[in-house]
Amino acid sequence: MNRPRVNRRIFLAVGVGALLVIAGVAGRIGPIEWVYDHTLVPVGSGLTNLGLNTAAAVTNLSKVRNLAAQNAQLESQNAQLRQNLAADDETRRDNDLLRRELGLQVAGAPQEVATEVVAFQPDSYRQFVTIDKGSRAGIQTGMAVLSQGVLIGTIANTSSTTSRIMLITDPDFRLTAEDENTGATGVINGQLGSGLLFNEIDQTAVVKPGDTVTTSGLGGLVPAGLYVGQIESVDGRGNVVFQNAQVETTFQLDQLRFAFVVTGP
Amino acid sequence: MKDVRRIGLLLVVVLSILIQVSLLPALRPLGVVPSLLLPVVVLIGLEGTASVALVAGVAGGLAVDLASATNFGLWTGLLVLAALTAGLLRRAGFELNGPAVALVMVTGGTVLSTAVILLGLADTATSWPVGFIAGTFFWELMLNLILTVAMRPVIRRLVENPDIGAQAIG
């Protein structure tokens, strides 16, 4: 092995790497992305499932002591939710009846595309997941994504066969939302460490712990009324103009297997 | 024997890439995603040749960049830098009998990647929870160092291990 040939190899490797990075930053790396989507993603999805199952098993082992207490709490919540559901059914029937009387369109369940999570963001700070359906299934950037009954994020980008979801807990996440109980509007921000902040709420608006936060439907492709979480605490001293509140979401990253993309109202 | 070792090294690199983009982000041991590729590339550079480490760095970095939704180029750049630095350190004749050089390099790489990711959030993050950031960094670093120690004997067996000196950079 002589030095010039070795140096050529090194320059070649560095040059190829630099070119690929420049092409990627300029968004001109389509064929390599296609290869990635059709090789590493399908092969890696098996390992992703293995990782999720192992993480779930470890979590369950650590929770085994609290299972009885957790079960009792869930039973109590279940009974409460059944009552709420019965009341909601009654309200929905009344609402449909009134809408028909007034000649308004009757609201139905949103159209959803069911997807499977195939990969997670490979670093410790950002919160993205990749799902196994893309633009070919009608998924577009900005659409809302639900899982475990709550909003978990929006579509950040798509290829023909996969899409990437920016999770609601990512520090870059921003979406307009409202307090369903009082009508106060603000912006939902993800936070480092998976927290959720209901931000930019007018100081004159009323928000209190226990209130339900839903999407407001203002702008973009996210419909109104999708459940985000419940207000945990309110900080009225955010600044002179706005107050903010910590929101608790029931979504758990380590239990994320399936996601439903809301493709229509 | 030489071919068997080459195939073995190729398998280790391919498996490391697969584990890095799929298993580790889903498993999140201790709530963090450790970097398996960083120790692998550093060790190939220190124990073997810079050109092989560079190829592993470009392939692995590109795969992680494609899997990542942000900071495209971070991992390719970091792993190429790690491979070049490892090759230069080896050429400079650093003592390679222990894992100290590899551990220092992996620590530097972890600091650099964390800094770039967090700087990318400087404009948008609404809060900077110091406890969370310090805890995440600490556990990520610990796991990266453990992976370095664990992978060292494997890589040492597989690389061609040329004499330290002028050839080592290649």
Contact A168, A190 (CB under 8 A): yes
CB neighbour burial string for B56-85, b if at least 16 within 10 angstroms, e if fewer: bbbbbbbbbbbbbbbbbbbbbbbbbbbbbb
Q: Does B97 touch chain A (CB under 8 A)?
A: no
Q: Does B138 touch chain A (CB under 8 A)?
A: no
Contact assignment for B54 to A17 by CB distance below 8 Å? yes
Lowest mean pLDDT among A69-83, A121-135, B44-58, B98-112: A69-83
Contact assignment for B121 to A125 by CB distance below 8 Å? yes
Contact B20, B36 (CB under 8 A): yes
Q: Does B140 touch chain A (CB under 8 A)?
A: yes
CA–CA dist B20, B33 (Å, integer): 9
The domain tally of chain B equals 1
Asked whether residue B28 is assigned to any structural domain, the reply reads yes
Q: Give the per-residue pLDDT at B60.
A: 96
For tokens 């989507």, what's the residue?
A37
For B147-157, what is each residue's pLDDT tens digit? 999 999 999 99
Smallest Cβ–Cβ distance between B69 and the set A40, A50, A164 belongs to A164
The CATH class that applies to domain A110-265 reads mainly beta
CA distance A71 to chain B (A): 25
Contact assignment for B121 to A254 by CB distance below 8 Å? no
Contact assignment for B132 to A192 by CB distance below 8 Å? yes
Asked whether residue B8 is assigned to any structural domain, the reply reads yes
User: Per-domain residue ranges for chain A?
Assistant: 3-63, 65-102, 110-265
Asked whether residue B101 is assigned to any structural domain, the reply reads yes
- Greater confidence, A57 or A63? A57
Contact assignment for A24 to B65 by CB distance below 8 Å? yes
Contact assignment for B72 to A21 by CB distance below 8 Å? yes
Asked whether residue B120 is assigned to any structural domain, the reply reads yes
For B76-95, what is each residue's pLDDT tens digit? 999 999 999 999 998 887 75
What tokens were used for A213? 């936060």
CA distance B38 to chain A (A): 13
Using a CB-CB cut-off of 8 Å, the residues of chain B touching A130 are 67
Domain that residue B105 falls in: 2-165
Query: Which amino acid is present at B122?
Result: A
Which of A8, A124, A198 best probes binding to B when mutated, by most B CB atoms within 10 angstroms?
A124
Asked whether residue B25 is assigned to any structural domain, the reply reads yes
Asked whether residue B96 is assigned to any structural domain, the reply reads yes
Q: Does B100 touch chain A (CB under 8 A)?
A: no
Lowest mean pLDDT among A192-206, B9-23, B154-168: B154-168
pLDDT of B164 strictly over 60: no
Asked whether residue B170 is assigned to any structural domain, the reply reads no
Overall average pLDDT of the B36-53 stretch? 94
ipTM metric: 0.88
Q: Does A135 touch chain B (CB under 8 A)?
A: no
Lowest mean pLDDT among A10-24, B86-100, B140-154: B86-100
Of A80, A34, A16, A53, nearest to A256 (Cα)? Answer: A53
Q: Give the per-residue pLDDT at B170.
A: 47
- The angle subtended at Cα B152 by Cα B169 and Cα A20, nearest 5°, is 55
Cα distances from B144 to residues A22, A222, B59, B141, B147, in angstroms, run: 28, 39, 19, 5, 5
Asked whether residue B137 is assigned to any structural domain, the reply reads yes
